Amino acid sequence: MIIIPAVDMKDGKAVRLQQGRADQQTIYDADPVHAARRWFDSGAKRIHIVDLDGAFDGVPKNRAFTLQILKAFSTAAEIQIGGGLRDEKIIEDYIAAGAARCVIGTKALEDRAFLERLTARFPGKINVGIDAKGGRVVTQGWVSQSQTLATDMVRGLSSLALGEIIYTDIETDGMLKGPNLKQLAEMKSASPFPLIASGGVTTVENVKACRELGCFGAIIGKAFYDGALDIEEAYKAAAEK
């Protein structure tokens, strides 16, 4: 399993939110490029970049920083980008600039044709981010609750040339209380694609639990920034047989 440190950007800064709430924000670095370098220097093979302004507003607002990160690190580590990617040209530009994966969230639920075009153009380079509360998909930067079950959504994607599925349980995200292993197990069983766990991974035991479930990767943010989890220990736990 791979460990994927996260850099969430809002207003040009590296931040973390609790349960996706914009009013529950902690600023960790005034320069998101510097934050990305910290994880690159730690040996990360992939870094997860999220434009939170884009997730809330539907249009990426931190593109300059995203492009700086791609220029600095994309030849030596995989850079995975999400947050407001609802325009085909922006995704094309990010992939041309070196993005290994672009993550589609809201648009994947709302516009199937859009997702079909992207996966046909960029096979294996498009990930779908499924964010859920109570097992049901949440969109528009986690402020709009749908009635679609996350497991039903992922099953419906089986015909597409996707890379991976990123599953975030928003009730655990940023809370440092562990992931929702029950929901992760259900998603792992339902997903025809490799599954990346996101939300609540806080301890070495959490990392091992995700690995034992068969997750391809785990995205970790707040636990690393706060020092609750040592990144070297996380790498070791993820690699254990």
Cite the active site residues.
Answer: 8, 131
Q: Give the pair of three-digit tokens for residue 213.
A: 């479930």
Q: Which stretches of the chain are DSSP H helices?
A: 32-41, 52-57, 63-73, 88-96, 106-110, 112-121, 150-155, 181-190, 204-213, 222-225, 231-239
Please report, as a single letter, which amino acid is at residue 183: Q
Q: How far apart are CA 130 and CA 101, in angstroms?
A: 15
